[in-house]
Amino acid sequence: MDIFDRLKAAATDDWNSYVDHAFVRQMGAGTLPQSAFQTYLVQDYLFLIQFARAWALAAYKSRTPADIRAAQAGLAAILDETDLHVRLCARWGLSQEDIESAPEHQATVAYTRYVLDCGAAGDLLELHVALAPCVIGYAEIGNNLTPNGIAALADHPYREWIGEYAGEVYQGVAAAARKHLDELAARSMTEQRFDELVAVFAKASRLEAEFWQMGLDSAQA
Ligand SMILES: Cc1ncc(C[n+]2csc(CCO)c2C)c(N)n1
Query: ipTM greater than 0.90, yes or no?
Result: yes
Q: Nearest to residue 132, comparing CAs of 167, 62, 179, 191? A: 179
Q: Ligand 1: distance of its center to the CA of 87 in Å?
A: 17
| Global confidence as pTM | 0.96
Domain extent at residue 96: 3-25+33-220
The finding on whether 164 has its CB within 6 A of some atom of ligand 1 is: no
Q: Ligand 1: distance of its center to the CA of 220 in Å?
A: 25
**Count of domains for the chain:** 1
134 tagged catalytic: yes
Per-residue pLDDT of the chain (221 residues), as tens digits, is 999 999 999 999 999 999 999 999 999 999 999 999 999 999 999 999 999 999 999 999 999 999 999 999 999 989 988 989 999 999 999 999 999 999 999 999 999 999 999 999 999 999 999 999 999 999 999 999 999 999 999 999 999 999 999 999 999 999 999 999 999 999 999 999 999 999 999 999 999 999 999 999 999 76
CA distances from residue 178 to 27, 70, 127, 182 in whole angstroms, order as listed: 25, 11, 13, 6
Domain of 68, CATH number, reads 1.20.910.10
The finding on whether 51 has its CB within 6 A of some atom of ligand 1 is: yes
